[in-house]
Amino acid sequence: MNETQFSETRWKGLFRIVGILTIVLGIAWIAVTRLTSTLHASGQPNTALGYLRVFSQNQALAASAWILWIIADVLLIPVTISLYLVLRHVSKSLAVAGAIFALAFCIYDPLVTELQSLRLVSFSQAYAVATTEAVKVSIVANATIIVNALPLMTFLSFFIGSVGTFLFSIAMTKSAFGKALGAFGIITNMTAIIGSLYPLLSNPPYIIALFFIISVPLVALWFISIGVIMLQKRNQFQAIAVNPRSGLEISKLFFTGKLGLESPIDSGLTTQM
């Protein structure tokens, strides 16, 4: 087996798996949006005591929401790597920058924002069973530290992740993903970047509040679309990933519609695998 054949075999099935994971990622984001909206159906708490009371009454729901966020963060890692492999041939600078921001989000969000949210859930459990006022005061004091930091943590999670996917979407407009999906990504991720300001503002404008609410489901739909296209064009994406020198040329052929699903490259790659 020569070097090229080994490389192709190594990547066999990559985009089939990642395509499925990307769809699951989008579904997870939609599900977590539903969970958090149900959790805060009566309004977003603005005090530590408010959070403790809401979470203590919905402990399973709250824990499920934040755990699902962490699972989604983990799923984003292989998606980010795969997008980098395809988009680096279109614009290496955008692909590298997008990957750096996206992977930074994958590390920061679960280890900081979601972990602290889970700590609030834990505090709510302790508050619910506390038998003395002194213990309750201590729990509220500890929860207050987290609640005061949550706006900044939430902003950083939204902003860092959205910048990464925004950069990917710019490169995507000139890739095999197509101009339409790239444009959709630019719009949805710009919406998320603007909406990320919401947690920092005490009285945010309506448009920022709206963008904050709709950004996650919109980006989720974008991810689902990416996953579908990865499954449809998985062999072509594998060809791009394993042929660094010809990747840009292949991407241009996809973009102009001169290379279809049954192209010679696709057939040759499939035959060798």
pLDDT per residue over 34-82, tens digit each?
999 998 887 788 899 999 999 988 989 999 999 999 999 999 999 999 9
Stretch 23-32: mean pLDDT, rounded?
96
**What does the alpha-carbon distance between residue 180 and residue 106 come to, in Å, rounded to a whole number?**
26
pLDDT band, residue 223 (cuts 50/70/90): very high
Q: What is the pLDDT of residue 12?
A: 59
Average model confidence (pLDDT) for the chain?
Answer: 86
Distance of CA 97 to the CA centre of its chain: 15
Domain-wise residue ranges, the chain: 3-272
Q: Which pTM was predicted? A: 0.84
CA dist list (Å): 162 to 50, 94, 103, 145, 153 = 29, 14, 11, 26, 14
Pick from 199, 186, 206, 79: nearest CA to 151:
199
Q: How far apart are CA 74 and CA 65, in angstroms?
A: 15
Q: What residues contact residue 118 under an 8 Å CB cut-off, 6+ apart?
A: 63, 66, 67
